[in-house]
């Protein structure tokens, strides 16, 4: 009995898991957003950092790293890049000269607004088939997932 060569590949065994759908959706959404941010010469990381700085002017690099869920060392080059492009500034905090207070420049504020508008436009297209209720239900369901870590 000859074992036949596979004609088409089925991912049914993986599609039974919700996590598979979430990871695939995330991958699509992430690559779409990366394309959207490209004209602004922003990557996911520089975009997230710029938005958080613009909306939380004066925060420290440590605080930003926590908010972004990355380690402090990995933030250094991200801030370097934003600073070299004069989108944010590192201000010494006179009351604690170890920390930098991160603040957006005017250009940083403007680029942040433009990039967020593009992000919103992208979302509108991606979510075109979902009404507001379905959109809220999606967010609620995603938030209802709980990590079984503390078990």
Partner DNA sequence: TATTGTTATACTCTATAACTATA
Partner DNA sequence: TATAGTTATAGAGTATAACAATA
51 binds, among DNA, a second copy, none (CB under 5 to 8 A by kind): a second copy
Q: Which of 11, 73, 84, 106 binds a second copy (CB under 8 A)?
A: 11
Cα dihedral: 45, 41, 73, 30 (round 10): 20
Q: Which of 45, 70, 118, 122 binds a second copy (CB under 8 A)?
A: 122
151 binds, among DNA, a second copy, none (CB under 5 to 8 A by kind): a second copy
How close are the terminal C-alpha atoms of the chain, in Å?
49
d(CA 11, CA 21): 11
Q: Which of 37, 42, 54, 111 binds a second copy (CB under 8 A)?
A: 54
4 binds, among DNA, a second copy, none (CB under 5 to 8 A by kind): a second copy
**Cα-to-chain-centroid distance, residue 68:** 8
Query: Of 84 and 151, which has the nearer Cβ to a second copy?
Result: 151
Q: Which of 56, 81, 105, 118 binds a second copy (CB under 8 A)?
A: 56
The angle subtended at Cα 94 by Cα 88 and Cα 99, nearest 5°, is 55
Distance of closest approach, residue 64 Cβ to a second copy, in angstroms = 7
Distance of closest approach, residue 85 Cβ to a second copy, in angstroms = 20
Q: Which of 97, 125, 132, 150 binds a second copy (CB under 8 A)?
A: 125
DSSP state of 93: -
Which helix (H) or strand (E) segment is 38 a member of? none
d(CA 29, CA 14): 20
The angle subtended at Cα 75 by Cα 69 and Cα 79, nearest 5°, is 130
Distance of closest approach, residue 26 Cβ to DNA, in angstroms = 11
């Amino acid at each position: 009995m000859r074992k036949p060569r596979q004609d088409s590949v089925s991912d049914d065994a993986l599609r039974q898991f919700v996590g598979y759908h979430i990871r695939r959706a995330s991958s699509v959404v992430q690559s779409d957003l990366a394309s959207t941010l490209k004209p602004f010469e922003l990557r996911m990381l520089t975009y997230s950092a710029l938005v958080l700085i613009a909306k939380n002017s004066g925060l420290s690099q440590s605080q930003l790293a926590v908010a972004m869920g990355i380690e402090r060392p990995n933030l250094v080059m991200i801030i370097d890049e934003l600073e070299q492009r004069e989108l944010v500034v590192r201000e010494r905090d006179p009351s604690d000269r170890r920390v930098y207070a991160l603040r957006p420049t005017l250009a940083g504020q403007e680029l942040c607004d433009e990039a967020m508008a593009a992000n919103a436009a992208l979302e509108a297209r991606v979510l075109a088939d979902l009404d507001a209720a379905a959109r809220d239900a999606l967010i609620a369901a995603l938030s209802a997932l709980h990590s079984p870590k503390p078990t």
